[in-house]
A = this chain, B = another copy of it.
Amino acid sequence: MRIAVVGGTGKEGRGMAARWARAGHDVFIGSREAERAAARAAGLQQEHPGLAGKLAGGDNVWAVQHSELVVLAVPYAAHTSTLESLKPVLGSRVLIDITVPLQPPQVTRVYLPAGQAAALEAQAILGSDAQVVAALHHVSAAHLRDLDHAIDCDVLACSDHAAALEQALRVIADLSVRAIDAGPLCNAVALESLTPVLLHLNRAHKGASVGIRITGL
């Protein structure tokens, strides 16, 4: 599949792009600065020779236009403006929104945005027909980046669009993690707000890089 990672030059985007390319997907890294994205794509190819899929970089709209599925990986401060710029070109593509509404520097405290969750705000901005999925809030960038590292963390994903959620769960599983259907999009409140708790644990247990597992499944 052709996957766009919008904001793909960030920490999270880096590991996801490489893992998906390893799994055979073609990955289009998007950035506000096309050259940074192109440099990141070239850098990842150098770092991981022999990836099964292609890696390329360009601006965010370019990345979406080349893709079948879009991952939104921008800081919350750029969330609304990025969505508005992508809205005209997104079409019926599935959008996996990994945004957590953090309020730096207080990233270890839950902050609820006006729309209760970034993903609910994305759905409101894009309209109710948009194929929004919220997921990938809990896997640390450090774990994603090390491609040989088995990730001891489940990925919870939620959406109001069943087919979109199914496609997202398949694509997420290609990161070599267990992907779990967490219900309707309003449950993004739970998924997003758990991240500050995990960041608190990382800080309290110096050097830790924690994750979550669902037990009893």
Contact = CB atoms under 8 A, between A and B. Distances in A.
3 closest A-B pairs by beta carbon, nearest first, are: A190-B193, A183-B200, A210-B216
A181 interface: yes
Range of interface residues on A (Cβ < 8 Å)? 35 or more
Interface string A172-191: 00000000111110110111
B112 A183 contact: no
A197 interface: yes
A201 B180 contact: yes
Given A109-B184, A186-B110, A193-B190, A208 B217 contact: yes
Contact of A187 (B152, B200, B212): B200
A74 to B, nearest CB: 22
A215 B202 CA distance: 11
A156 B190 CA distance: 14
